[in-house]
């Protein structure tokens, strides 16, 4: 498709406008209905921010797909497993969440109707005396609406994820970590006074990679120095690599020069479905970085961003400082500071795989300790 931008007009623009209006991001009647004006650009940016897409105000393939997905509500169309072209959309997320709440293992609620969602749906249909066809049609929708969700807390899929890590033991050796430096190529991310987020995160990724490899982990980078794959491609790379963990590195920016600090994000819908391990990993990273770097602690948060949603292993996105804040930017441009950040992240990863066995207080465990620990085990 053609990329739509401010100044464009025509039926494709009109379609996107009506979608944005349906999502409540544009007033129903506003401006000329087939013109990509300033109000529409604001609405596109707001939508991109909500969905964790690159906030550029342009409607390209990724934004267009996300807009289309956002318009589907459960019950609006039949859902089924189409092997060659799986159905995606917010209605699939709702279905997966409902099935999970009812105790059926639909997999991580990622908005893609796959084999596991179908199996869960069939089990549900069997248990509730419905036609077992794996199709979410009117009869199944009615049944889902009538049932009140069982008490939450089981979250079987997410607990299973935790169990897999427990079984694989506390060793770092053999763990495969995908390091995902944000942006790249023509997309610099936040850029202030010639300091680019994409360059800083590339450099940080290399520092992190070196330390991880030294402690016996396998570290893979999701992109080259001059590439910017979209979020779905990055997730696919991690899935195909069979990653144990994905760490996505970003810096933030804000209209206010006073906004500053570090925050970590993990997969979660905000209504109880959270990646247990993603949340644990985000918490460990957040603690280490807040303690070691002096950056303001902006805490951990659940998000359904594409990369977090589409990766099959725990994934954490870290927003390290605000480049729009003078203090944070000066810190980040210092290579020694980036070493501190890399060390904090490696120690946090080690703590994740120790799962509670750790006895060293936050901020005191050093890279040398991690290395010694691994070497002692290797003997
Ligand atoms: Zn970024």
Beta strands in 12-155 (DSSP E): none
Q: Tell me the C-alpha distance between 121 and 105, whole Å.
A: 9
CB 211 within 8 A of CB 346: yes
The listed CATH number (3.20.20.240, 1.10.101.10, 3.40.50.300, 3.40.50.360) that belongs to domain 11-70: 1.10.101.10
Q: Please tell me the distance between residue 305's alpha carbon and the centre of ligand 1 in angstroms.
A: 12
- Tell me the pLDDT tens digit for each residue of 301-339: 988 888 998 888 889 999 999 999 999 999 999 999 999
Reduce the DSSP state of residue 12 to 3 states and report it. Answer: helix
Cα three-residue angle 52-53-57, rounded to 5 degrees? 125
Q: Please tell me the distance between residue 324's alpha carbon and the centre of ligand 1 in angstroms.
A: 12
Provide, rounded to the nearest whole percent, the portion of the chain with pLDDT above 90: 51
Q: Tell me the C-alpha distance between 55 and 369, whole Å.
A: 40
Beta strands in the chain (DSSP E): 176-181, 191-192, 195-196, 218-221, 245-252, 262-267, 297-303, 315-322
Q: What is the DSSP string of 271-297?
A: SS-B-HHHHHHHHHHHHHHHHHH---E
Looking at CATH, the fold of the domain delimited by 169-378 is given as Aminopeptidase (3.40.630)
Q: Please tell me the distance between residue 94's alpha carbon and the centre of ligand 1 in angstroms.
A: 28
- Tell me the pLDDT tens digit for each residue of 63-86: 998 999 988 989 889 999 999 889
Q: Which CATH architecture has domain 90-153?
A: Orthogonal Bundle (1.10)
* Other Cβ atoms within 10 Å of 314 Cβ, number: 27
| Per-residue pLDDT at 152 | 38
Q: Please tell me the distance between residue 231's alpha carbon and the centre of ligand 1 in angstroms.
A: 11
Go through 326-340 and write b for each residue having 16 or more CB atoms within 10 A of its CB, e for each that does not: eebbebbeeeebbbb
Q: Please tell me the distance between residue 330's alpha carbon and the centre of ligand 1 in angstroms.
A: 17
Q: Please tell me the distance between residue 264's alpha carbon and the centre of ligand 1 in angstroms.
A: 12
Q: Please tell me the distance between residue 135's alpha carbon and the centre of ligand 1 in angstroms.
A: 39
Q: Tell me the C-alpha distance between 158 and 312, whole Å.
A: 11
Q: Please tell me the distance between residue 377's alpha carbon and the centre of ligand 1 in angstroms.
A: 37
Q: Please tell me the distance between residue 102's alpha carbon and the centre of ligand 1 in angstroms.
A: 36
Q: Please tell me the distance between residue 269's alpha carbon and the centre of ligand 1 in angstroms.
A: 21
- Tell me the pLDDT tens digit for each residue of 155-206: 455 555 555 555 555 566 678 999 999 999 999 999 999 999 999 999 999 9
Reduce the DSSP state of residue 91 to 3 states and report it. Answer: helix
Provide, rounded to the nearest whole percent, the portion of the chain with pLDDT above 70: 84
Q: Please tell me the distance between residue 189's alpha carbon and the centre of ligand 1 in angstroms.
A: 5
Q: Which residues contact 297 (CB under 8 A, 6 or more apart)?
A: 261, 262, 286, 290
Q: Please tell me the distance between residue 179's alpha carbon and the centre of ligand 1 in angstroms.
A: 14
Closest CA to 272 of 356, 164, 147, 150: 150
Q: Global pTM?
A: 0.61
Q: Tell me the C-alpha distance between 227 and 30, whole Å.
A: 38
Q: Please tell me the distance between residue 201's alpha carbon and the centre of ligand 1 in angstroms.
A: 9
Token pair belonging to 21: 């209006």
Q: Please tell me the distance between residue 291's alpha carbon and the centre of ligand 1 in angstroms.
A: 22
Q: Please tell me the distance between residue 253's alpha carbon and the centre of ligand 1 in angstroms.
A: 8
Q: Please tell me the distance between residue 364's alpha carbon and the centre of ligand 1 in angstroms.
A: 29
HSE-up (13 A, CA, CB side) for residue 377: 14
Q: Please tell me the distance between residue 349's alpha carbon and the centre of ligand 1 in angstroms.
A: 21
Cα three-residue angle 151-155-161, rounded to 5 degrees? 165
Domain with CATH 1.10.101.10 in the chain: 11-70, 90-153
| Per-residue pLDDT at 154 | 42
């Amino acid at each position: 498709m053609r990329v739509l931008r401010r100044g464009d007009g025509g039926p494709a623009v009109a379609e996107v406008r009506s979608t944005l209006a349906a999502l409540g991001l544009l007033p129903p009647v506003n401006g000329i209905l087939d013109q990509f004006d300033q109000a529409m650009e604001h609405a596109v940016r707001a939508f991109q921010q909500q969905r964790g897409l690159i906030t550029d105000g342009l409607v390209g393939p990724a934004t267009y797909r996300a807009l289309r997905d956002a318009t589907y509500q459960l019950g609006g169309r039949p859902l089924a497993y189409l092997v060659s072209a799986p159905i995606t959309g917010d209605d699939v997320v709702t279905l997966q969440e409902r099935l999970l709440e009812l105790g059926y293992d639909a997999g991580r609620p990622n908005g893609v109707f796959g084999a596991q969602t179908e199996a869960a749906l069939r089990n549900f249909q069997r248990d509730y005396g419905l036609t077992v066809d794996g199709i979410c049609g009117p009869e199944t929708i009615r049944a889902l609406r009538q049932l009140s969700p069982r008490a939450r807390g089981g979250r079987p899929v997410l607990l299973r994820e935790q169990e897999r890590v427990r079984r694989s033991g506390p060793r770092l050796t053999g763990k495969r970590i995908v390091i995902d430096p944000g942006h790249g190529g023509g997309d610099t991310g936040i850029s202030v006074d010639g300091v680019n987020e994409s360059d800083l995160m590339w450099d940080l990724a290399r520092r992190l990679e070196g330390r991880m490899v030294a402690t016996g982990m396998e570290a893979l980078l999701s992109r080259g120095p001059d590439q910017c794959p979209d979020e779905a491609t990055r997730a696919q790379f991690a899935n195909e690599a069979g990653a144990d963990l994905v760490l996505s590195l970003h810096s933030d920016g804000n209209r206010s020069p006073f906004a500053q600090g570090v925050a970590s994000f993990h997969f979660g819908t905000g209504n109880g479905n959270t990646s247990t391990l993603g949340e644990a990993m985000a918490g460990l990273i957040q603690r280490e970085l807040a303690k070691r770097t002096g950056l303001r602690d902006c805490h951990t948060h659940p998000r359904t961003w594409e990369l977090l949603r589409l990766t099959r292993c725990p994934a954490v996105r870290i927003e390290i400082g605000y480049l729009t804040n003078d203090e944070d930017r000066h810190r980040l441009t210092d290579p020694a500071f980036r070493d501190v950040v890399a060390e904090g992240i490696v120690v946090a990863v080690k703590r994740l795989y120790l799962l509670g066995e750790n006895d060293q207080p936050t901020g005191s465990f050093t890279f040398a300790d991690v290395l010694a620990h691994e070497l002692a085990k290797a003997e």
